[in-house]
Structure 1
Amino acid sequence: MSSLFLSVMMMVSAGCSSNSGDVPLVTAGKSAYTIVTPVSPSKAESKAAGIVQEYILQVSGAKLPIMQESNFDGRQAIYVGNTKHTSGPVSIKDDGYYTGVAEQSLYIRGGSGKGVIYGAYHFAEAYMHCRKLPGVQPVVPASRDIKVPAGMKDLSEPDFIYRESYYPASADPLYLEWHGLQRFEDLWGLWGHSYFKILPPKSYFATHPEYYSMVNGKRQPLQLCLSNEEVFKLTVAFFKQAIADNPDAIYWSISPEDGPGGCTCDQCKKADAEEGSQSGSLIRFVNRVAAVFPAQRFTTLAYGYTSKAPGKTRPADNVYVLLSTIDAYRQTPLQEAPSAAGFRKNLETWEKTGGHLFIWDYTTQFTNYLCPFPDYNNLAANLQYFAAHGVRGVFSQGSGDTYGDMAEYNSYLQAALLWNTKADAAAVSADFMKSYYKAAGGPMQQYVQALTAAVKSTNAVLDIYGSPIYSGRDYLSPANLDKYSNILDQAEAAAEKDTAALQRVYRARLPLEYTVLQQSRVYGTEKFGYLVPGNGNAYTVNPKWPARVQRFTAQAKAAGVTELSEGGLSPEAYQQQWQLLLQRPWVGGLAFRAPVTLVNPYTPEYSPMKEKTLTDGLTGDKDFSYNWLFTYGKDMIATVDLGGSKAVSSVQLNFLQDARHNIFLPVKIIIEISGDGKAYTKIGEQAGGLPKEEDYAVAIQHYQFKNNRKPARYIRVTATCAASMPEWRAIPNKLPAVCCDEVVVL
Structure 2
Amino acid sequence: MKNTVLNHLFVCFFAVIIVSCTSSNKLELVTNGEANYEIVVLDNASKKSHGSAEILQNYIRQISGVNLAIVSESAQSADIAKIYVGTPSEENIEEHAIHIYTDKDNLIITGGSDLTVRQAVYEFLEVFLNCKWYAPDAEAVPNNKIIALNKPIDYKYTPEITTRTVHSRLFYENPDFADKHKVTTEAFPYYVPTARVHTFHKFVPEEVFYKTHPEYFALRGNKRLPTQLCLTNEEVYNIVRDSVAALFDQFPEASVISVSQNDNQQYCTCEHCKAIDAAEGSPSGTMIQFVNKIAADYPDKTVSTLAYQYTRKPSKTRPLDNVLITLCSIECDRSGPIEEKCVDFANDLKGWKELTENIRIWDYTTQFTNFLAPFPNIYTLQPNIKFFRENHARWIFEQHSSNPSELFELRSYIMAKLLWNPDRNMDELITEFTNGYYEEAGVYIKQYVDLIHDKIQEDNNFFLFLYGDPSQAFSSFLNSELLATYDGFFNKAEEVVAQNNTVLKRVKEARLSVDYAILEAYKKNLDNDFSMVLVNADDSKMINPDVVKRLERFYQTCKGANITLMNEMRFTVDEYYANYKNTMTVATQPNKALGKKVTLLTKPKKYANEDSQVLTDGALGGNSFYANWLGFEGNHLEAVIDLEEEQSIRSISTAFLQVTNHVVFFPKSVTYYYSNDNEHFYKVGTVVNDAPLSKTSKINDIKYFELEFPEVKARYIKIIGENRNEPPYWHHAAGLPSWIFADEVIVN
Instruction: Indicate whether the TM-score tops 0.5.
Output: yes
2:192 aligned counterpart, secondary structure:
strand
Q: Answer yes or no: is the 8 Å Cα contact 1:37–1:83 preserved in 2.
A: no
Residue pairs, 1:400-411, within 5 angstroms: 400=402, 402-411=403-412
Provide the rounded CA distance (Å) in 2 between the counterparts of 1:243 and 1:223.
23
CA displacement at 1:255 relative to structure 2: 1.8
Q: How far has the Cα of 1:66 moved from its partner?
A: 3.5
**SS of equivalent residue, structure 2 residue 27:** strand
Aligned pair in 2 of structure 1 residues 261, 555: CA closer, same or farther (>3 Å)? same
User: Closer, same or farther in 2 for the Cα pair 1:653/1:128, shift >3 Å?
Assistant: closer
Change (3 A) 1:53 1:243: farther
| Cα distance in structure 1, aligned partners of 2:49 and 2:587 | 67
> In structure 1, how many angstroms separate the alpha carbons of the residues matched to 2:99 and 2:742?
62
Q: Where do 1:322-721 residues align within 5 Å?
A: 322-337=326-341, 340-400=342-402, 402-459=403-460, 460-523=462-525, 528-533=530-535, 537-542=539-544, 545-546=547-548, 548-584=550-586, 586-596=588-598, 606-607=607-608, 610-617=611-618, 623-632=624-633, 638=639, 640-643=641-644, 653-656=654-657, 658-664=659-665, 665=667, 680-683=679-682, 700=703, 702=705, 712=715
Distance 2:657 2:201 in 1: 29
Can you list the C-alpha shifts for 1:66-104, whole angstroms capped at 9, x where unaligned? Answer: 344355474732222221465xxx433x52311111211
**1:264-279 equivalent positions in 2, closer than 5 A:** 264-279=269-284
Cα distance, 1:509 vs structure 2: 0.7
Which residue does 2:135 correspond to in 1?
A: 134
Q: Which amino acid aligns with 1:123?
A: F
Sort the Cα spacing of 1:634 and 1:109 in 2 relative to 1 into closer, same or farther, 3 A: same
Q: Distance between the aligned counterparts of 2:477 and 2:660, measured in 1?
A: 31
- CA displacement, residues 404-454 of structure 1 (integer Å, 9 cap, x when unaligned): 101111111111211122111111111111111111221111111111122
Q: Do the aligned partners of 2:469 and 2:627 also contact (CA within 8 Å) in 1?
A: no
Seen in structure 2, the aligned counterparts of structure 1 residues 185 and 562 have a Cα distance that, compared at 3 Å, is farther
For the residues of structure 2 that align with 1:380 and 1:99, how far apart are their CA atoms?
26
Shift of 1:361: 1.0
Residue of structure 1 in register with 2:86 after alignment: 81
Aligned amino acid, residue 191 of structure 2: W
Give the structure-1-normalised TM-score: 0.86
User: Which amino acid is 2:533 matched to?
Assistant: L
Out of 298, 301, 306, which is 1:301 matched to? 306
In structure 2, what is the Cα distance between the partners aligned to 1:58 and 1:695?
Answer: 52
Change (3 A) 1:525 1:715: farther
Given that residues 437 and 504 in structure 1 are in contact (C-alpha distance below 8 angstroms), is that contact kept between their aligned partners in structure 2? yes
Deviates more, 1:508-517 or 1:20-29: 20-29
CA RMSD of aligned residues (A): 3.7
Aligned to 1:164: 165
Alpha carbons of structure 1 residues 203 and 72: separation in structure 2 relative to 1, 3 Å:
farther
CA contact (8 A) 1:660 1:696 kept: no
- Give deviations 1:201-236, integer Å, cap 9, x for gaps: 445545555544344444433233433444444444
Q: Residue 458 and residue 585 in structure 1: after superposition, are their counterparts in 2 closer, same or farther (change >3 A)?
A: closer
Q: Which digits, 9 at most, give the CA deviation of each residue in 1:43-80, with x for residues without a partner?
A: 44333222223323333344334344355474732222
Q: Deviations over 1:349-388 (max 9, x none)?
A: 2222124111111111111111011111111111112222
Q: CA deviation at 1:154?
A: 0.8
Contact preservation (8 Å) 1:99, 1:109: yes
Q: d(CA) in 2 for partners of 1:421 and 1:10?
A: 16
1:571–1:689 CA distance, 2 compared to 1 (3 A): closer
SS at match of 2:353: helix
Q: Is the 8 A contact 1:689 1:722 kept in 2?
A: no
Cα offset, 1:178, TM superposition: 0.9
Match of 2:27 among 10, 16, 23: 23
User: Which range moved further: 246-255 or 170-179?
Assistant: 246-255
Note if contact 2:653-2:704 (Cα within 8 Å) is conserved in structure 1: no
User: Once the two structures are superposed, what CA deviation does each residue of 1:456-503 show, in whole Å capped at 9, x if it has no partner?
Assistant: 234443221111222222211222111011111222222234332222
Q: Is the 8 A contact 1:646 1:711 kept in 2?
A: yes
Could you tell me which of 264, 279, 293 is aligned with 1:259? 264
Q: What CA distance in whole angstroms lies between the structure 2 residues aligned with 1:491 and 1:175?
A: 27
Aligned equivalent of 2:61: 57
Shift of 1:549: 2.8
Once the two structures are TM-superposed, the CA of residue 310 in structure 1 deviates from its matched residue by 1.4
Residues 622, 700 of structure 1: 8 Å contact kept: no
Distance change (3 Å), C-alpha of 1:743 and 1:683: farther
CA deviation string 1:592-640 (max 9, x = no partner): 1124456887556x42795432113466576544442224466756564
The 1:478/1:424 distance shift into structure 2, 3 A limit, reads same
* Alpha-carbon distance in structure 2 between the residues aligned to 1:693 and 1:72: 68
Q: What secondary structure, in the 3-state scheme, does the structure 1 residue paired with 2:325 have?
A: strand
Q: Is the 8 A contact 1:653 1:704 kept in 2?
A: no
698-707 or 376-385: which moved more?
698-707
| Alignment check: 8 A CA contact 1:525 1:531 kept | no
- Over 3 Å counting, the alpha-carbon distance change for 1:200 and 1:36 in structure 2 is farther
56-65 vs 724-733, greater mean Cα deviation:
724-733
Letter of the structure 1 residue corresponding to residue 187 of structure 2: F
Matches within 5 A, 1:155-194: 155-171=156-172, 172-182=174-184, 183-190=186-193, 191-194=196-199
Question: AA paired with 1:298?
Answer: V
TM-score (norm 2): 0.86
What secondary structure, in the 3-state scheme, does the structure 1 residue paired with 2:327 have? Answer: strand
Distance 1:82 1:621, change over 3 A: closer
Distance 2:227 2:542 in 1: 47
Distance 1:585 1:163, change over 3 A: closer
CA distance 1:694–1:184, change in 2 (3 Å): closer
Displacement of 1:508 in angstroms is 0.8
Gaps of 5+ in 1: 1-7
In structure 2, the partner of 1:4 is none
After the TM superposition, which of the residue ranges 588-597 and 562-571 deviates more from structure 2?
Answer: 588-597
Instruction: Give the number of equivalent residue pairs.
Output: 724
Deviations 1:110-142 (A, max 9, x none): 134621111001112223332211132543333
Deviations along 1:228-247, one digit per CA (max 9) or x if unpaired, are 44444444444444334444
DSSP 3-state at the match of 2:361: strand
Q: How far apart are the structure 1 equivalents of 2:582 and 2:169?
A: 30
**Which residue identity does 1:153 align to in structure 2?**
D
Q: Which residue of 2 aligns with 1:3?
A: none
Aligned-residue offset at 1:512: 1.3
Matches within 5 A, 1:719-730: 729=731
Corresponding residue SS for 1:528: coil
> Among the aligned pairs, what percent are the same residue?
29
CA shift digits 1:654-711 (9 cap, x unpaired): 5555543233538997968676xxx844445999999898785567473769998566
- Find the residue that maps to 1:405 and give its secondary structure: coil
Aligned match of 1:319 = 323
Contact 2:651–2:706, Cα closer than 8 Å, also in 1? no
Quote the Cα distance in structure 2 between the aligned partners of 1:155 and 1:433. Answer: 28
Instruction: State which drifts further: 684-693 or 46-55.
Output: 684-693
Task: Specify which of 281, 289, 311 is matched with residue 284 of structure 1.
Answer: 289
Q: Deviations over 1:261-293 (max 9, x none)?
A: 323344434433332322222222222222222
Shift of 1:188: 2.5
| Larger displacement relative to structure 2 (197-206 or 642-651) | 642-651
Contact 2:669 2:686 in 1 (8 A): yes
Cα separation, 2, equivalents of 1:97 and 1:332: 33
Equivalent position amino acid for 2:331 in 1:
D
C-alpha distance in 2 between matches for 1:699 and 1:507: 27
1:47 equivalent in alignment to 2:51: yes
Shift of 1:547: 5.2
For 2:618 and 2:371, locate their aligned partners in 1 and report how far apart those are by CA, in whole Å. 28
Against the structure 1 CA distance between its residues 644 and 315, is the aligned structure 2 distance closer, same or farther, given a 3 Å change threshold? same
